[in-house]
Amino acid sequence: MLDKYIEISIYAVICVSLIIVLYVLKRNHYPFTPLTENLKSEIKKYGLVHFTSSYRKDIIEQSKTMKSGDSLSGSLKRSAMYRAEKGLIWFYSGKNKFTDLSEKSQRILHKRECEFECRFTDISDEDLNRITYRKKDLAFVYRGTIDISRIKIERISFDR
């Protein structure tokens, strides 16, 4: 009987440890920090930029809105990453060009075949309240849907 309690205790410790590890990973990956006043003024001045593929650019233009996950395939929509990021649109500061991004960010964008940048300007105070950021690389997240009339889509020039 004692062996059964030890076994259950070990499983409980493993489960709790796994939950803690997943929580820490999520807190390190997802931007939860509210914008500072300096960042708000920088975003209002320069806007934000989102990098996307040719395929997703077409979907954004057809739907007349930009929202997370619309263009993903069925298997990706069922993935844990998609469910965790549902409703999030990832951006970088609009004052940065593609070549200003870290090498890691550039590799990720190349891997995802990003050929276009969507510049989000005309950002209201209401929009700013929907944005949080990740301190380590200033990646921004917008929670919601953006009307395409507020976005300018251009092909990325990788040598700028």
Which tens digit of pLDDT belongs to each residue from 57-96? 888 888 887 776 554 444 444 444 555 566 778 888 887 7
**128 vs 32, residue with greater confidence:** 128
The three-state DSSP-derived secondary structure of 31-95 is CCEECCHHHHHHHHHHCEEEEEEHHHHHHHHHHCEECCCCCCCHHHHCCHHHHHHCCEEEEEECC
Per-residue model confidence (pLDDT) at position 65: 79
Per-residue model confidence (pLDDT) at position 75: 43
**Distance (Å, rounded) from C-alpha 49 to C-alpha 120?**
6
C-beta separation of 148 from 60 below 8 A:
yes
**Distance (Å, rounded) from C-alpha 128 to C-alpha 142?**
8
For 34-155, CATH gives 3.20.170
**99 vs 33, residue with greater confidence:** 33
C-beta separation of 156 from 115 below 8 A:
yes
Asked whether residue 4 carries a pLDDT value surpassing 70, the answer given is: yes
Sign of the CA dihedral running 41, 42, 43, 44: positive
Per-residue model confidence (pLDDT) at position 37: 93
Asked whether residue 20 carries a pLDDT value surpassing 70, the answer given is: yes
pTM exceeds cut of 0.85: no
Which tens digit of pLDDT belongs to each residue from 108-151? 777 777 888 888 888 888 888 888 888 877 888 888 888 878 78
Mean pLDDT in residue range 11-33: 76
SS3 assignment, position 147 = strand
Angle at 156 between CA 152 and CA 160, to 5 degrees: 115
